[in-house]
Amino acid sequence: MSVPLLPPEAEALRGKPRHGENVVQRAGRVVRRAIASSPAAETAAVTEAAYAIQQPVTTGRQISVSSIRGGAGKSTVAALLALTYAHYRSDPVLAVEADPALGTLPHRLGAREVRWSGSDLAQIVDPAMLITDLTGYLLPFPGGGWLLPGSQGAIGTRLDIETYRVVMTSLRRYFATTVVDCETLPAEVARTALVTTQARVLVSPATPEGVVATRAVLDWVGGVHPGILPTTVVVVSHAAPDTGLDLRRAAEHLGIGGAVVLPLPYDRHLAAGGAIRTDLLGERTLQAAARIAAEVMNRAVSRTPGRRRTGAGAPAAAPGTSAPTSSGAPESPGTSMTPGTSTIPGVPTPPPGPMPPTTRPVPTARPAPAAPPAPAALPVPSVPPVPSAPPVLPSPAVSTAYGSPSGPGMPAPGPPR
């Protein structure tokens, strides 16, 4: 039996969806693009982000999204990631709601009713099921992805660890990318998702209090498992047009330990709630979503950044990111400890100073290896003499006329008479 997510009277409360940017912002962007735009740079940035998002995976990649408190934009970021992966990737993408206590992920992905939940699927899933059988229990969302709700809208619904484990392990082989909208930390399911997924996203409000609380969570996570931080992406979500937060200092504070810090700008369409329509998102929001998705996929494909593939077959770095350093920790935007080196959009970056001249020692030429000595001639074995043929005995003469032999002691035949 299907259950509607919102009662009919609640639909009347929703106003007309607005564009993420107002008219003045859109007009200014058009003018700037016509006067001082760089089509080559924009195309290169989009291509790099698409290449990172579309890079192949050998096994299913699972990405957890959590936050320190409700209202930080956790479900919004999870929905943006799911929509971005479903748009760019050709393989199946799944969004799982692991926050069943009146979560908003189904609303954000445009679902209107729920029939099956994660608890129901855990009781009927079977390894012999095909993906065509499995999708009958899921909800499609725009872009070609699939959604598994956490509940049917009942208050007090909880998701236990065993149900979460069965669902995630059973669905991993069907979907190349899975985005999990977890509970707020330090809930039990959220703690489990932190250590069982290949990459994790921690959403922080764009306020000083939110940054401080998020830093405390990162310190706690780093104490539990230090290898988690290099595969963590911190998203600073703006719920207002101008929060007054110093993004450069916030990125330096949150990036200690190896996590990459990326901003999600304010968007009127996202702030209004409801289903996310990508055609109504602002230009900056679309670019930020693609950049976040690319950075998360880079870390999901390689759990240890120092072991990330290099060379001609390696995936390109996400827009605004750099390759890992020789020490194994990637130099990500906003994570540098040097003041003024953040690459967060909207923050001026001072030009780098001149590099000190360096000299490299000239390698000495190695002497050519000596030619190997010629092999000694092998002795020719002596050939034994061929034995002489035995003497040929004379054959007895045979008379052809009479048929009698002729030999010693026998008269020679006379002439015929």
* Confidence class for position 374, pLDDT limits 50, 70, 90: low
Q: Which residues contact 331 (CB under 8 A, 6 or more apart)?
A: 322, 323, 324, 325
- For the chain, which domains are there? 60-307 (3.40.50.300)
Other residues' Cβ atoms within 10 Å of the Cβ of residue 143:
16
For residues 147 and 93, what is the distance between their CA atoms, to the nearest angstrom? 9
Radius of gyration of the chain from its Cα atoms, rounded to whole angstroms: 39
Among all chains, which residue has been given the structure tokens 């190896």?
258
- The secondary structure element, H or E, covering residue 80 is helix 74-88
What does pLDDT average to over the chain?
76
**Measured between alpha carbons, how far is residue 286 from residues 27, 78, 237, 317 in Å?**
17, 14, 14, 18
Q: Among 189-203, 384-398, 403-417, which range has the highest average pLDDT?
A: 189-203
Residues contacting residue 417 through CB under 8 Å, at least 6 positions apart = none
Confidence of residue 80 (pLDDT cuts 50, 70, 90): very high
Q: What is the pTM of this model?
A: 0.70
Mean pLDDT of 102-118: 84
State pLDDT tens for residues 289-309. 999 999 999 999 974 444 444
pLDDT for 7 equals: 67
- Residue pLDDT, tens place only, 117-138: 888 888 888 888 888 888 889 9
Q: What are phi and psi of 264, to 5 degrees?
A: -120, 110
Q: In this predicted model, what pLDDT tens digit does every residue of 33-52 receive, in sequence order?
A: 777 767 777 788 889 999 99
CB 98 within 8 A of CB 191: no
Confidence class for position 91, pLDDT limits 50, 70, 90: very high
pLDDT tens digits along 138-183: 999 988 899 998 876 555 566 788 888 998 988 988 999 999 999 8
Q: 345's torsion region: left (phi>0), alpha (psi -120 to 50) or beta?
A: beta
Place of tokens 């061929």: 386
